[in-house]
Amino acid sequence: MERAVAAGELEPGQLLPPLRELAARLGVNPNTVAAAYRILRERGVIETDGRRGSRVRHKPATTGREELGVDVPAGVRDMAAGNPDPALLPSLAAAFADAADRAPVLYGDDPVEPELARLTRAELDAGGVPAGPIAVTSGSLDAIERVLAAHLKPGDAVAVEDPGWGGLLDLVPALGLRTLPVALDDDGPLPEQVERALKTGARALVVTDRAQNPTGAALTAARARALRSVLRRHPATLLIEDDHGHGIVDLPLHPLAGVTQHWAFVRSAAKAYGPDLRLAVLTGDEVTLDRVRGRQRLGPGWVSRITQRAVARLWADGAVDPAAVAAAYGRRRDALIDALARRGVTAYGRSGLNVWIPVPDETAAVARLLHAGWAVAPGARFRMSAPPGIRVTVSTLTDAETEPLADAIAAAVRPAPVRSYV
């Protein structure tokens, strides 16, 4: 079944045969089919809805949301990829040369570069993140996966932002966990939605502090206070914060960390220093970090200390000017949002690389824009129950492109004219 879903032979939403019917057809015990269905649910391939039976998930974990994107033909401007502007990324050559020209790291050495740990702790202290051990992982998603696996078991529910990061929305069901959507606005997750998800049984909550993907939301001081109040009523919640916007935003950090018994705070180097670094720093409570580091030792062992040294050098040297980078991205976001507003189109993008635009029909909007020479990301990559939308990555948008892109988006989101054949 998993191979059939991956190959497209079983389509998203397709109803699967009842247990006993399939068992009779295959000549096996019904318990065998039940066990297979359970494994497929845990892998995020199928879902079961009581007497309505089992069906292929609408976004099965075998394919991932990247499959929901668009092919970008030659000559079409790619505004869909979600990448930072290469022109705003620092050169890595000197930092890696310096990192490689040191004593080699051997088995049994500390998995965390001391200078990286020192710089990380100083930055976290300045941002109000509580004290805790430091770990290094291969990017934000690796950190989040390890923290979820450290505390949850298949079938547990995780409250996630909707719309939210497609990678996370794929990861949760792939771990055998259930996603509970939480709506958000420019200031972050709505407290009443978080309260409802936790009362419904969510054992974990994942929050993006700044530069939320795809909407650009960023936690304000008032929203953070409201969310802390909710979490204090649910102290057993596993809280995970993703601060991947560090280094590309000029908005202050308002962390939630420490309000629950178990928590983790993740900060990635990808957006400010380059996705290929594959490095994130992680802190949290003692139990969570001990479990994460213990399991990491049994797998990859550690993230390359050469990479860690290079990132520490980049941080220490101030290779990225966060204020300048944030201002550059901010000008591009604001220019597009203002241009769309003049055309009667509402768009969102308080921080980060992207602008989120609600649309009545994603498929039609994406197709029309592609025909007009612009590739954008369909909202289906990023949402569960949230209304349709498209994501436009503005990281490389030029002044000359802003008005033509706004014209194309305004034309693409308008309903198609009704034709009469009478």
Options 3.30.70.360, 3.40.630.40, 3.90.1150.10, 3.30.450.20; CATH of 67-88+322-413: 3.90.1150.10
Looking at residue 66, what is its pLDDT?
Answer: 52
Give residue-wise pLDDT tens across range 143-163. 999 999 999 998 899 999 999
Which CATH code for domain 93-317? 3.40.640.10
Percent of the chain with pLDDT over 90: 83
Looking at residue 62, what is its pLDDT?
Answer: 62
Q: Where does the pLDDT of residue 422 fall: very low under 50, low under 70, confident under 90, or very high at 90 and above? A: very low
Which CATH code for domain 2-56? 1.10.10.10
* Helix 399-413 × helix 362-371 angle, to 10°: 130
pTM summary value: 0.87
Looking at residue 42, what is its pLDDT?
Answer: 74
Is 370 a residue whose pLDDT tops 70? yes
In the chain, where are the structural domains located?
2-56, 67-88+322-413, 93-317
Give residue-wise pLDDT tens across range 157-216. 999 999 999 999 999 988 989 999 999 999 999 999 999 999 999 999 999 999 999 999
Ramachandran angles phi, psi of 96, nearest 5°: -75, -35
